Amino acid sequence: MLAEERFSKILNIIDSMGSVTVQQLMDELGTSESTIRRDLIAMDKKGYLTKVHGGAISNNANIHTQDEKVINRQMLNHDEKETIAAYAASLIVDNDFVYIDAGTTTALIIDYITAKNVVFVTNSLTNAKRISDKGYTVYILGGEFKSTTEAIVGDEAVFALDKYNFTKGFWGTNGINVKNGFTTPEIKEAMVKKKSMENCKEKYVLADDSKFSQVSSIKFADFDDAVIITNRLSNDNYKKYKNVKEV
């Protein structure tokens, strides 16, 4: 098989899957490991794909431009989200000052918090009420209410974040990609995520397996800016990154 023919087949496989391992390409093409690795290096240099350790990621991933309503997302991968949230809550210790982002996974953290004398800030009305009901002090950002994600967004919320310095923060994301980082579809919400993350010492992004290799319109942080807490990954390409924590 000629190199250009292999390149075409590799691109078709990666674009359909989002990402692929060297072993998967060897199986699909019946080609040696050394040939596949050489092809991936050449294709990365040409900008056809992004080579990562053990495989490659598509440069043509679909870009998601709209948010799903919270009610439509709450039960998706619910067991995985519960496991991720329980682990995240265990990281909160007495006297922490914590930011909790709006989101279906971050919201589940609240059920598992046991630390004492913790103060919270959030951009979610629902989160604020549930945190307060548990007896904690909670501050909510002011600004525009976005009904789709039930989040407070916009310039006023970003301005309010200037006064805070968090010990820990927990964020949701619509997409995780090595090249594109953490992304979300809407710029007003992205700016709140970005600013709150900049003002935080320990940063954690909570995301189930389905968020990996996905890309949305607006980037709010680089891939290595935060620890990613996730469930057992089906995509081996991400397992070896030191900031990826499977629980």
Burial of 234 (0-12, 13-18, 19+ CB in 10 A): exposed
Distances (CA, A) of 196 to 4, 33, 150, 171, 218: 46, 43, 17, 9, 16
Question: Length of the chain, please?
Answer: 247
What per-residue confidence (pLDDT) applies to 52?
A: 81
Query: Which residues neighbour 152 within 8 Å (Cβ) at sequence distance 6 or greater?
Result: 102, 123, 124, 125, 140, 141, 142, 143, 144, 145, 146, 192
Q: What's the predicted TM-score (pTM) here?
A: 0.76
Domain limits, the chain: 3-60, 70-246
Reading phi first (left if > 0) and then psi (alpha if -120 to 50, else beta), residue 137 is in: beta
* 70-246 shares the fold of 3-60: no
C-alpha to C-alpha distance for 25 and 48, rounded to whole angstroms: 16
Class of 3-60 per CATH? Answer: mainly alpha
Is domain 70-246 annotated with CATH 3.40.50.1360? yes
* Whole-number pLDDT of residue 67: 63
CB of 209 closer than 8 Å to CB of 170: no
Walk along the chain (247 residues) and give the pLDDT tens digit of each residue. Answer: 678 788 888 887 886 667 788 998 999 899 999 999 999 999 888 878 888 888 888 776 666 665 666 555 555 678 999 999 999 999 999 999 999 999 999 999 999 999 999 999 999 999 999 999 999 999 999 999 998 888 999 999 999 999 999 999 999 999 998 878 999 999 999 999 999 999 999 999 999 998 998 888 899 999 999 999 999 887 777 888 999 999 9
Question: What's residue 70's pLDDT?
Answer: 56
